[in-house]
Amino acid sequence: MAEPLLRVENLSTRFFTEEGQVNAVEGVSFEVEQGEVFGIVGESGSGKSVTALSLVDLVESPGRVTDGSVWFRKPDLAERIREDDPEAATEAVDGEMVDIRQLDENERRALRGTDFAMIFQDPTSSFNPSITVGTQIAEAVEVQRRAEANPRTLRSRTQGFGLMKFLTTSMVPTVDYVSEESRERAVELLDTVGIPDPAERATEYPYQFSGGMLQRAMIAQALASEPSVLVADEPTTALDVTIQAQILNTMADLQEEYGMTTVLITHNLGVIARMCDQVGVMYAGELVERGTLGDLFERPTHPYTKGLLGSSPSLEDATKRLQPIEGNVPSLLDEEMEDRCYFADRCPKAMEDCLQDPPEFDADGSQHHRAKCYLADHGYESALPEGYFDE
Amino acid sequence: MQYGRFLLRRVVHSVFVIWGAATVVFMLRFLTPGDPVTALAPPDAGDEVRAALERRLGLDDPIHIQYFDYITDLMVGDFGKSMEVLDRSVLDWIFWTRFLRSVELAISATVVAIVIAIPLGVISARRRHTVSDYSATLFSLGGISTPNFWLGLMLILLIAVPVGFIPTGTPGPLLHEAVGDLLAGDPGTLGDWLRFMLLPAITLGTYFTALLTRLTRSGMLEEIGKAYVKATRAKGLPETLTMYRHVLRNTLIPIVTILGLQLGTLIGGAIITETVFEWNGLGQLLIERINARDWTMIQGIVIIIAIGFVTINTIVDLLYAYLDPRVMDE
Amino acid sequence: MISDRVKASLKREFYQSRAAQVGLALVVIITLMAVFAPMIAPHDPTTQRVGTGDTAELTDLPPISPVPGHEFVGTREQSIVNETTGEFRNVQVEVPANASHPLGTNERGQDILSRVIYGARVSMLVGILGAALAAIVGVPYGLVAGYFGGRLDDGLMRIGDVMLAFPSLVLAIALIGVFRDSGFHTTDLPDPFVAAAQADAIPNILIPRSGHVATMPEATTFPVTVTLVVALVNWVWFARIARGEALSIRAEEYVTAARGLGASNTTILRQHILPNAITPIIVLATIQVAFIILLEASLSFLGFSGTNLTWGADIQQGRNGLSSGKWWVSTMPGLAIVLAVVGVNLLGDWLRDALDPGIQGESGGV
């Protein structure tokens, strides 16, 4: 089998706050094939957004990616590292795959906006309010153009744009970082994502856009770089339901057209069912179950996955009562986390084994189907007494 | 189109404010205790002399006529005549050089402030919790806490006296003279201008520099935390560009308005600085006329300062709306 | 009016911030200095020791050096008589520091340390009273404007805009020019400690050094006009902040709910709007105290405050000596101003960080 495009191994992200260490992402592993959509679903606070940010290296202080690897298939970069620094290559390069986490900061930044692009949850706060939408998208195009023109020198992207340049561009608007070609491309992109009258709208400011239109603009901005991997963090959550459907349609069309590989973060199972090929379920910072769409929806193994499915309304069987999952999402504070299956206290099938941290087991179904649950290993046996965790 | 409407509204508003300011200034005279005629007339003056003086000062009319005359005179640029030296008009006394001296001082101080403060604030915010950040913070705390007249005296004590050149007393040349001489091939005048300008500009500019540093630092820190910065980084824009094109720009937009209002402090500071350095400007004249209890002159100077201040603020607001069109929607 | 959560946040911020601790210490020290001036000051700050003979020895004394071996030396002009010709001649004599005047004396022989201590009284009193007065006028004005909105708001805020058309120092100077000839320009505030010590009203044990206290000035000259004028010049800032707060709070659901329950406008303003608007107002008030101390110093430097016993006036007084080597007369009161204002500003920063009322930094201050 060919190498996947993206292979995440044992990724951990921690936040070092005043209250203590927060384990937002813990030992997450998954693979995404070229052209596929990998969905990550979970409740709020389960660490899925932090996972997304960790992939593109945008976790900010007090948070830090502490462990793990993000392998990305990029043959030319792998080749270059082997040539430049054979010693580092033994660690950071594996065939055509490169471990992004081991690259230096400039190299990592260089991947953003060229190979990786991101769509954020709230489009209104993710655009700079005082610059026109067209210019902001054109910036993304410009980054890509400069990177293509000079793939090896990162400095070309800045081209001496320091304080002096800032002052001159503020006073002489014609001297600008963004070229005319990039602006034209930005208008084309706005057209691609279905914004009517794109040339006119490109000159408008974010506050003149509706939420849905702005999210389209953000998708256009992400497409600007023709990214290999698109990370979409709850792209429809902040929108009205009708708009959500439109945005999802747009995304699905573009996905088909560009053949992008997408990591889609959402708490909405409907979105997962509509968009994804592979799915991972996140709980308390861990990916508790992953597999193909069919694996998870038809053969869920982890009781949490079952619970999620049971708590979502379904059109086919509208009469069915929803089954909420009892209890609350656990605290992610390191000192409050015991070394056990974090779901055990809410799990209807908690067993004595669950008092130890479960490894990932192969589960029934496709070869991709894996679950962090002893139920995947053996049956339901030696149940914990009721009320065990009530203390 | 939209901007035109905003501009019109803003200009109408500032005309209203200037009218209000003129009314306040007009009323100042009626709050003053004592009768100006008694103060001015010779002690042995008869009723006839007193009446003539009253007529001359325009005090024999009913108050609403006086007010009407005052406002209409202002509208045609007539700021009245000195009460002490009756033949001398306000504008005549202020004359161009005094005005220019004050303006030059204020602009130099602003330039000093902007050139120092913005880079300092940016460095401070980007290298948070480093030695440079702490020094900048300490400097700005000291700067906003130091009275500028004392700072001026300390500069004289620590710099001017040891160097042997105290830039007080004889006022230096004006900038346009200096530039004229420079073009004619004589850089000496410009050197003189600088020697006279340096300490007063630092004195007046320090408070402003400190304030601007603080504002830039806290504004940058607030702005860096916003979601769009993360989005900008995500699209691969280099860090310098993210900082200058997005963060600093957005930080400076609200600072522009604050600075407009703070210009009042600068003008007030200029009065004090002029006193310390015996700088022959508008502020020095105001103090002198107050001590002479020359009410029409005081009114004239105050209203001229107010008009200048309001005009600058209006320009700043218009600039703000140009940089950030959202404010026009209010 | 201040919730437990706010108190906890104040406390946490205070323990974490060295700056807040320094600020509080400075403000407490200077306030204590102002209140207990007669007990702390080593000499009567107003006593002049001019003329010839013994007392002349006490003019123009330099301060004591903090570094041993590097003593400050002042100079004084002295007339000496030539015994044979009987002619007078002026010579510069060197003057050593004198331990009973640690910060030196001015050309009138007044003790600078005592003057600095007494100067704190006017500065702190004008600063606090001026800010309080400005708040008392400005806050209700702004709350009413913001709460009722519409025409009333437009009208009231236009008046505020007119006030802002004048730079504060210019307006203050002009107003003082108007009012300083009136009878209430200054008033003498009797000093309760001195009065008690002189009258032997309370057992002397309660007043430390009561013999010393009894010789201190019986009253402090308090500049009434200056206090009124700084309040008049600064109330608009309070009005603006209060209006902004009222404007946003009146749209909150609990206000709508209270109105639905039939609460009167006064009740709503008092019970809902004011308590929720109070934090930014407190922060502004702190910044204003700092600003008013500076403003008062400027006015007394220009000679407009009507009293000589202030830091600003002392700086003015020492100005002439700067070029003849008598640097300490202006320097000491200036340092006192800087310390006081730094202290208040640090307190303001602490309050702002702890309460985070979202006012735009120092914008409301000046």
Q: Say whether pLDDT at B70 is over 90.
A: no
Structure token digits, residue B275: 């006193």
Distance, in angstroms, between B278 CA and closest chain C CA? 12
B230 contacts A144? CB cut-off 8 A: no
The burial of B133, by beta-carbon neighbours within 10 Å (0-12 exposed, 13-18 middle, 19 or more buried), is given as middle
Q: Write the single-letter amino acid at B214.
A: R
Identify the pLDDT of residue C358: 45
Which of A46, A17, A40, A120 lies closest to A328 in space, CA to CA? A46
- Can you tell me the distance from the alpha carbon of C41 to that of C100, in angstroms, rounded to the nearest whole number? 11
Identify the pLDDT of residue C312: 94
Q: Say whether pLDDT at B98 is over 50.
A: yes
Q: Is C158 on the interface with B (CB under 8 A)?
A: yes
Q: How high is the mean pLDDT of chain B?
A: 83
Which is higher by pLDDT, B189 or A199?
A: A199
Residue A1 binned pLDDT confidence (cut-offs 50, 70, 90):
very low
Residue B146 binned pLDDT confidence (cut-offs 50, 70, 90):
very high
Distance, in angstroms, between B79 CA and closest chain A CA? 37
Mean pLDDT calculated for residue range A332-360: 82
Mean pLDDT calculated for residue range A230-254: 86
How far CA B279 is from CA of B151, B153, C211, C276, in Å, comes to 16, 14, 49, 48
Q: Is C233 on the interface with B (CB under 8 A)?
A: no
Identify the pLDDT of residue B33: 66
Residue C140 binned pLDDT confidence (cut-offs 50, 70, 90):
very high
A-B C-beta contacts closer than 8 Å: 107
C338 contacts B271? CB cut-off 8 A: no
Q: How high is the mean pLDDT of chain A?
A: 83
Q: Is B287 on the interface with C (CB under 8 A)?
A: yes
CA dihedral A59, A60, A63, A65 (to 10 degrees): 40
Distance, in angstroms, between B247 CA and closest chain A CA? 9
* Enclosing H/E stretch for B317: helix B295-323
Which is higher by pLDDT, B217 or B256?
A: B217
Cβ within 8 Å of B, C 342-361: 342, 345-346, 360-361
Domain presence at residue A146? yes
Identify the pLDDT of residue C362: 37
The burial of A166, by beta-carbon neighbours within 10 Å (0-12 exposed, 13-18 middle, 19 or more buried), is given as buried
Q: Residue C345: which of B34, B144, B263 has the nearest Cβ?
A: B144
Which is higher by pLDDT, B180 or B44?
A: B180
CA closest to C319 among chain B residues = B153
Cβ within 8 Å of A, B 102-161: 119, 122
Q: Residue A113: which of B237, B324, B325 has the nearest Cβ?
A: B237
Identify the pLDDT of residue C228: 92
> Are A13 and A66 within 8 A, CB to CB?
yes
Cβ neighbours of B236 in A, within 8 Å: 109-114, 140, 143-144, 147, 157, 225
Give residue for tokens 């504070």.
A333
Q: At what angle do helices C328-355 and C274-301 cross, to 10 degrees?
A: 170
Q: How high is the mean pLDDT of chain C?
A: 85
Identify the pLDDT of residue B93: 66
Identify the pLDDT of residue C364: 33
Any residues with CB less than 8 A from the CB of C29 and at least 6 apart, and which?
Answer: none
CA closest to B323 among chain A residues = A130
Identify the pLDDT of residue B170: 61
- Can you tell me the distance from the alpha carbon of A236 to that of A247, in angstroms, rounded to the nearest whole number? 7
Q: Say whether pLDDT at C360 is over 60.
A: no
Number of structural domains, chain A?
1
> Are A57 and A107 within 8 A, CB to CB?
no
End-to-end C-alpha distance for chain B, whole angstroms: 16
Q: Is C338 on the interface with B (CB under 8 A)?
A: yes
Domain presence at residue A339? no
Which of A208, A207, B325, B322 lies closest to A197 in space, CA to CA? A208
Which is higher by pLDDT, A173 or C241?
A: C241
A298-308: buried (b, 16+ CB within 10 Å) or exposed (e) per residue? eebbbbbbbbb
Mean pLDDT calculated for residue range C278-287: 90
Identify the pLDDT of residue B1: 57
Mean pLDDT calculated for residue range C210-219: 83
Computed on alpha carbons and rounded to an integer, the radius of gyration of chain C in Å comes to 25
Identify the pLDDT of residue A175: 53
Identify the pLDDT of residue B99: 83
The lowest-confidence range among A236-250, B112-126, B167-181, B261-275 is B167-181
Q: What percent of chain C has pLDDT over 90?
A: 36
A113 contacts B231? CB cut-off 8 A: no
Whether omega before A303 lies within 30 degrees of 0, making that bond cis, reads no
Identify the pLDDT of residue A37: 92
Which is higher by pLDDT, C292 or A254?
A: C292
Identify the pLDDT of residue A2: 62
Cβ within 8 Å of C, B 155-184: 156-157, 161, 166
Identify the pLDDT of residue A109: 80
Handedness of CA A53, A56, A57, A58 (dihedral sign): negative
> Are A50 and A13 within 8 A, CB to CB?
yes
Q: Say whether pLDDT at C359 is over 50.
A: no
What are the pLDDT digits (tens) for A6-17? 999 899 999 888
> Are C142 and C243 within 8 A, CB to CB?
yes
Mean pLDDT calculated for residue range A242-259: 86
CA closest to B251 among chain A residues = A130
C177 contacts B298? CB cut-off 8 A: yes
B324 contacts A130? CB cut-off 8 A: yes
Give residue for tokens 């290559």.
A89
Question: According to the per-residue pLDDT averaged within each range, which of B58-67, B287-296, B301-310 is highest?
Answer: B301-310
B34 contacts C341? CB cut-off 8 A: no
CA dihedral B180, B185, B187, B190 (to 10 degrees): 0
Identify the pLDDT of residue A147: 78
Q: Is C341 on the interface with B (CB under 8 A)?
A: yes
What are the pLDDT digits (tens) for A84-100? 878 777 788 888 888 88
Residue A263 binned pLDDT confidence (cut-offs 50, 70, 90):
very high
Cβ within 8 Å of C, B 218-237: 218-219
Domain presence at residue A165? yes
φ and ψ at residue C81, rounded to 5 degrees? -100, 130
ipTM over 0.85: yes
Identify the pLDDT of residue B21: 92
Which of A257, A301, A260, A137 lies closest to A205 in space, CA to CA? A137
- The upper half-sphere exposure of residue B158, i.e. CA atoms within 13 Å in the direction of its Cβ, equals 11
Identify the pLDDT of residue A309: 83
Q: Residue A143: which of B236, B249, B325 has the nearest Cβ?
A: B236
Domain that holds residue A135: 128-227
Identify the pLDDT of residue C129: 96
Q: Say whether pLDDT at C92 is over 70.
A: yes
Cβ neighbours of B232 in A, within 8 Å: 128, 136, 139
Domain presence at residue A151? yes
CA A209 from centre of chain: 25
The lowest-confidence range among A126-130, C164-168, C194-198 is C194-198
Q: Is A147 on the interface with B (CB under 8 A)?
A: yes
Q: Say whether pLDDT at C27 is over 90.
A: yes
Any residues with CB less than 8 A from the CB of A299 and at least 6 apart, and which?
Answer: A363, A364, A365, A369
CA closest to B259 among chain C residues = C363
What are the pLDDT digits (tens) for C227-260? 999 999 999 999 999 999 998 888 888 888 888 8
Q: Write the single-letter amino acid at B199.
A: L
pTM: 0.83
Cross-strand pairs, A351? A383
* Enclosing H/E stretch for A283: strand A278-283
Residue A104 binned pLDDT confidence (cut-offs 50, 70, 90):
confident
Which of B14, B16, B145 should one mutate to test binding to chain C, selecting the residue with the greatest count of C CBs within 10 A? B145
Which of A166, A185, A265 should one mutate to test binding to chain B, selecting the residue with the greatest count of B CBs within 10 A? A166
Kindly list the structural domains of chain C, giving each domain's residue range(s) and its CATH number in brackets, ordered by start: 4-62+103-355 (1.10.3720.10), 64-100 (no CATH)
Mean pLDDT calculated for residue range C46-58: 68
- Can you tell me the distance from the alpha carbon of A331 to that of A325, in angstroms, rounded to the nearest whole number? 16
Q: Say whether pLDDT at B195 is over 50.
A: yes
Mapping DSSP to helix (H, G, I), strand (E, B) and coil, where does residue B264 land?
Answer: helix
Q: DSSP characters for A54-85?
A: HHTT---TTEEEEEEEEEEE-HHHHHHHHHH-
Chain C neighbours, 3+ Cβ pairs < 8 A: B
The burial of C37, by beta-carbon neighbours within 10 Å (0-12 exposed, 13-18 middle, 19 or more buried), is given as buried
